[in-house]
Amino acid sequence: MSSLRFSIDAREGMARAGTLTTLHGEIQTPAFVPVGTKADVKGILPSVLTSLGAQVVLANTYHLYLQPGEEIVKQAGGLATFMDWKGPTMTDSGGFQVFSLGAAFGRTITKIAKGEELPREQGVSVFDQEVQSQHGQLAIIDDQGVTFTSHLDGSLHRFTPERSVEIQHALGADMFFAFDECTAPTEPYEYQKEAMERTHRWAQRSLKAHRQNIEASRTQAIFGIVQGGRHADLRKESAKEIASLGFDGFGIGGSFSKEDMQGALQAAIPELPDEFPRHFLGIGEPGDILTGIAEGMDLFDCVAATRIGRHGSIYTKRGPIHLKGEKYKNDFGLLDPETPVPGMEGFTRAYVAHQLRAGEMLGGILCSMHNLGFIIQLVDGARVAIREGRFAAYRENFTRNYYS
């Protein structure tokens, strides 16, 4: 077994506050995990991440495999040393690329669908534009793995559960995920079930490959991923199966409608052992994070904070605002007076709006810094509230103001 240790220190309903101990430091949970896709959180220095309160970062296996290659990262001393990050690290499995390169490629679909059904053809969102610009157009999924083209040069590559684990061993993160298939939310029930069963087989193979590496088993923890789309029966079945395999922690994958998210959690979580950490993959919208915490999730990661920041939007307690709007050109108020973020104290909305309109990179960096600080403070506040027995009121107050 790995060196990972998890203890639950306080509870309020299903919500829980705990301590996750890794070889490279402790993580107080619940915690938000900034995404450092290519061993960097876009535009944010590691020292700034620390000042914002980040406890752990997550990097992308697919991207680091293609560039610079996992062997370079290994030679550097592992992910944390390579990026000069002083705390714990995580890596995903590359499984999301099965989703973004395969069945979902070219559609306006993210991990979380909005509404009961999304049409296959409609306007392309900012997220999808980024996915399409980053990735090649070929991904062929079979029971053994996925074959795909590199978005860098069109070369052909293949991931299997064993190869994903091998790459993640080289990257050396404290925690990593088993290889899975994350389907599009709109796939029919029959395909969701097929993909779930394939994920279960891949989970067994991932776990076997990890346990066969004795040194990695001692220093790295592997999380199994629950799938099943928006269907409660599949989520329950998947959670029961993944829980039986002997993982060090558990991830709940995306691929459900926003309206079904709570139901998916309620179906899965009772089947997972209480004493292990739970990670909600790809979840970063403030209300969704609080829903996840209320249902018993411990860790959350998402690119949304920096992605919307680069496009000029920031979170506030009164809801998100887009600083490229005309009314902010002469707004000399603080960026967000209700949520002071370290390093952002002197910047006004007018100044950041100017940077964004002028196409200066600082504008996107400042918005990204603010958004990361906002989300980290939101989750930190939830953790304190759980410990003090007032999380329900904390969540209700935030939700009322944010969505009013």
| Rounded Cα–Cα distance for residues 179 and 160 (Å) | 8
Catalytic residue among 128, 260, 301, 336: 301
Residue 149: beta bridge partners? 156
SS (H, E, C) 256-287: EEHHHHHHHHHHHHHHCCCCCCEEECCCCCHH
Nearest to 369 by CA among 97, 59, 44: 44
Cis peptide before 68 (omega within 30 of 0): yes
The one-letter amino acid at 393 = A
All residues at 6 or more sequence positions from 33 whose CB lies less than 8 Å from its CB, including other chains: 54, 55, 56, 57, 58, 90, 279, 299, 300, 301
Nearest to 183 by CA among 136, 130, 247, 238: 238
143 is catalytic: no
| Rounded Cα–Cα distance for residues 186 and 77 (Å) | 41
92 is catalytic: yes
| Rounded Cα–Cα distance for residues 314 and 324 (Å) | 11
Catalytic residue among 40, 92, 248, 336: 92
| Rounded Cα–Cα distance for residues 198 and 202 (Å) | 6
The one-letter amino acid at 365 = I
| Rounded Cα–Cα distance for residues 80 and 58 (Å) | 10
| Rounded Cα–Cα distance for residues 198 and 238 (Å) | 11
* Residues identified as active-site: 92, 301
